[in-house]
Structure 1
Amino acid sequence: MSITLTDQDKTTLRIAAWGAVSLMSAAGAAGSAHKVATEGSIALTSATGLAGHVLTKAPKGVKYGKSVAELADQVLPALTASMSLLKQQDPAEADNFRRTVVVAIEAAAGTHRGQPSPTLADMARKITAALDAA
């Protein structure tokens, strides 16, 4: 199945995925925000398929707000919208996008090195819930 994405669709996917990494970074412990963002970004730029093509670059000119709450107000609905859009066009690609975002937040949380902080774990749950709301 061929997927047709408008520029706005691509922006929504980018806001969703890169915003999820930004949320994880904002929830990271003091001093670790850069490492959280780096790990999550590496995961996004390592994606394959349509998600890999779209997520090779972060969204340009997006204003995420001045608080984590303002960031979440944009990113969490974008995650749900992205999944809805992709499920309508290609369920396999929706699964790929979901896996890509989950890998990025797991990398950001450092779950491969042990338990994430309670703040990171809670943010990861919110992101996953937004992905699954579609």
Structure 2
Amino acid sequence: MTNNSTPSITLTDQDKLTLATAAHGAVALIAAAGVKSAGKVAVAGALALASATGPVGHALAEKQKGVKLNGKSTAELADKVLPALTASMSLLNQQDPAEAANFRSTVVTSIDAGARAERGGTGPAMTEMIRKITEALDAA
């Protein structure tokens, strides 16, 4: 009999805050880049995040008091979110590469879901934001 259990990971409250900022922030960035349907984009992305499983899913399901996804501009939001995406991938890769892959997949699924909710399809701004998010995920 083989042991198919995955290594357990330990996430501090700060780690969970970083994951939440990264994942929910990615959805917020996609919504900000949407031209016609920001609300629908945000809802579709958030619903996709709610389907996350494993330790990442548990961390994202917890209400995080310190998540602040506000700013005067999309640039200010991106200044918080893009580094959080890279930091999340780095900390998860250190503990369990499979869980890092799970996080990446969860974020990509959520931004894809958000992008599909944009009426008329994604435009150049949203396409560029997706590229920046993906680049931040892959920078770790």
TM-score for both structures, normalised by structure 1: 0.92
Q: CA deviation at 1:58?
A: 5.6
Which residue number in structure 2 is paired with residue 49 of structure 1? 54
The structure 2 residue matched to 1:119, chosen from 117, 125, 134, is 125
3-state secondary structure, aligned to 1:110: helix
Report the RMSD for the aligned CA atoms in angstroms. Answer: 1.9
Cα distance per residue 1:90-112 (max 9 Å; x no partner): 0000000000000000001108x
Separation in structure 1 between the aligned mates of residue 77 and residue 64 of structure 2, nearest angstrom: 14
- Map of 1:66-81 to 2, 5 A cutoff? 66-81=72-87
Identity, % of aligned positions? 67
3-state secondary structure, aligned to 2:82: helix
Q: CA deviation at 1:61?
A: 4.2
The structure 2 residue matched to 1:85, chosen from 65, 79, 91, is 91
The 1:118–1:58 alpha-carbon spacing in structure 2 relative to 1, beyond 3 Å, is farther
User: Which structure has the larger Rg?
Assistant: 2
Q: CA deviation at 1:62?
A: 3.3
Separation in structure 2 between the aligned mates of residue 3 and residue 92 of structure 1, nearest angstrom: 11
For structure 2, list consecutive stretches of 5 or more residues without a partner in the other structure: 1-6
TM-score for both structures, normalised by structure 2: 0.88
- Number of residue equivalences: 133
For structure 1, list consecutive stretches of 5 or more residues without a partner in the other structure: none
Cα distance per residue 1:70-104 (max 9 Å; x no partner): 00000000000000000000000000000000000
